Amino acid sequence: MNIRNRYAKVCLFLWILGMCLTAHSLKAQSVIPVPLKMEKGTGFFLLSEKTRLYTNLQGGEAKLWENYLKTLPVQLKKGKKKDTQQVLSLLITSKNPQLPSPESYTLSVTPQQILIRATSGAGLFYGMQTLLQLAQPSGAGSYSIASVEIEDTPRFAYRGLMLDVSRHFSTKEFIKKQIDALAYYKINRLHLHLTDAAGWRLEIKKYPLLTEFAAWRTAPTWKQWWNGGRKYLRFDASGAHGGYYTQDDIREILQYARQHYITVIPEIEMPSHSEEVLAAYPQLSCSGEPYKNSDFCIGNEETFTFLENVLTEVMALFPSEYIHIGGDEAGKSAWKTCPKCQKRMKDEHLANVDELQSYLIHRIEKFLNAHGRHLLGWDEILQGGIAPNATVMSWRGEEGGIAAVTSGHRAIMTPGAYCYLDSYQDAPYSQPEAIGGYLPLKKVYAYNPVPASLTAEQAKLVYGVQGNLWVEYIPTPEHVEYMIYPRILALAETAWSAPERKSWQDFHTRALSAVADLQAKGYHPFDLKKEIGSRPESLQSVSHLALGKKVIYNSPYSSHYPAQGNTALTDGIRGDWTYGDGSWQGFISDNRLEVTIDMEKETSIRSVTAAFMQVVGAEVFLPETVVISISDDGVHFTELRKQHFKVSKETPIRFADISWQGEAKGRYVRYQAQAGSEFGGWIFTDEIIVK
């Protein structure tokens, strides 16, 4: 009995040891995104110039692969179907439970051969990306690949990155370079924001002024231009800055994207973000004058002629299912007084300007649908009634996406809090200037694109997820890459991998390796090894005399930034590096911050402190005036401190504690913080600490 027990224990130990070693080996595999199933074998396959390649790909897809295979680090010999040794086989096969999607694949590596199976060229391509990530240099131009069995399939069909090329133009060479990296991590959509106030970036032959004039501005950076008059110049004028893609450039980009199984989606902004168009063709605005409006005149029939002509050329270039039409942030104010817009509203029985925008979206959708395309727009296209076949890209949180799917429409989730890659990715003082926000790698990785409130059927309408990079504060190619990588890798794993396969600690290890790989390939990612992390004050709660005490709001906080509501300023929780983290409370009313804390009884007080932030890009500023007062009755207050501060835009981001220290007694503590007259903007604080 003792012997049997000992034997059983030894077997159990060996089994556990084996499992641990296997798990360790699998974790060591630096595959992003992590596959659905991955089982390590024994031995290695040596990929070298002696390796033969066999594939049953045919037709146009075979041609795509012919060009792609030339880019591999090893040039392979042509193989035959009967080859079983030193062969890499890429096989199209029939659909089966292991291959539920055209992008699914299986990968088998043994010491004798590598076999990738899929139902389409896309699936084979993604299997190849996994293989390349597994390959380790083995000297003399060869690569060692550990034996493994992989079964893999994507969670979402749409896995995207939006790149703003209007605010700062990106060359076609740069776009192609990003396609290489995005495809490597199984991103399959590249959304190009081609038009905006800062510059029109696409050749439209019917409207030459769009590239002769609207593509060129008076300053090299968006910030200089935005703060310096916002004017445009002819391309041949002195001091003109900008650029655009010729239609041949676009064809070249699209062909390269096809070779990497990436669909490029064009965005043509309407009805707003169109200052550059209306400067070139002012007759399309409500005023009829340049530099007066940012929204197209929807009452003007010529507007629709223009938009349909532009979209006709766009569709002739881009074969994508979707054409993105923007639809966000329309000012709509000019429509309220424009005779043409008012007549349109009367003729079409439209109740308000939201419905007027919806009229444009519906009409443009009919035009796109008639040409076999679908409309994609930001979540504002829900205002006034969503077009019948439209897909919503939800950026102002998840509410727009939820509204879309509950009404039977597809949604692509891209909420700013998790998917806006223009936010700071580390402690702001250590980073180049950004528009604001704090979005570290860990937070991107934590995002689940399927809200818990959705039913199983509604969840099926969540088409995918997308990261967005707006480049107002990102003027150089190196800076663009710095903001994209490695955060897009976290989003790639969220978009591809099953939730149960995700592990932050494991991903972080793989991301460190990926950053080193990207650097070796000539990219400029954020150096994850040097990450500082969260604001120290946010990592632990603070204890003080006002903890849990009632806060009386003499001026309201903004409904957009409520934090934890009426308890936010005395809950002991300090904010992180961003005003949108749920701990910072925002004030934009005339009086800004004016609150009174009821200490419940007379209390001896030695200090009162509140923290403030400044994020210039987001119009968040430190206060100009702070008044700290105390009272016995809550009516008559005695000033403890009144101080004026110089508010300046010279420091893009800053955090400051503004305090009173001394000795006082009272039941009520009042804290007032006023905005400056020069810049105005928001005031944010996270806690009023009384000691």
Q: Residue with structure tokens 């925002």?
A: 586
C-alpha to C-alpha distance for 570 and 608, rounded to whole angstroms:
12
Tokens of 8: 């059983």
Q: Residue with structure tokens 């592990």?
A: 503
Please name which of 436, 376, 385, 370 lies closest in space to residue 411, comparing C-alpha atoms.
376
C-alpha to C-alpha distance for 481 and 493, rounded to whole angstroms:
18
Q: Residue with structure tokens 């290489």?
A: 180
Q: Residue with structure tokens 């399939």?
A: 153
Strand ranges (E), 500-576: 550-553
Q: Residue with structure tokens 């060996």?
A: 14
**Residue count (the chain):** 691
C-alpha to C-alpha distance for 573 and 30, rounded to whole angstroms:
37
C-alpha to C-alpha distance for 145 and 111, rounded to whole angstroms:
9
C-alpha to C-alpha distance for 121 and 559, rounded to whole angstroms:
49
538 DSSP assignment: G
> Cα–Cα–Cα angle for 386, 391, 394, nearest 5°?
90
- Quote the crossing angle between the two packed helices 59-69 and 121-134, to the nearest 10°: 20
93: phi > 0 → left, psi -120 to 50 → alpha, else beta; which? beta
Q: For the purposes of burial, counting CB atoms within 10 Å of the CB of 104, is it exposed (0-12), middle (13-18) or buried (19 or more)?
A: buried
C-alpha to C-alpha distance for 256 and 253, rounded to whole angstroms:
5
- Work out the number of other CB atoms within 10 angstroms of the CB of residue 170: 20
C-alpha to C-alpha distance for 118 and 302, rounded to whole angstroms:
49
C-alpha to C-alpha distance for 164 and 201, rounded to whole angstroms:
10
Active site residues: 196, 273, 329
Provide the sign of the torsion angle of the four alpha carbons 556, 557, 562, 566, taken in this order.
Answer: negative
> Cα–Cα–Cα angle for 40, 45, 47, nearest 5°?
135
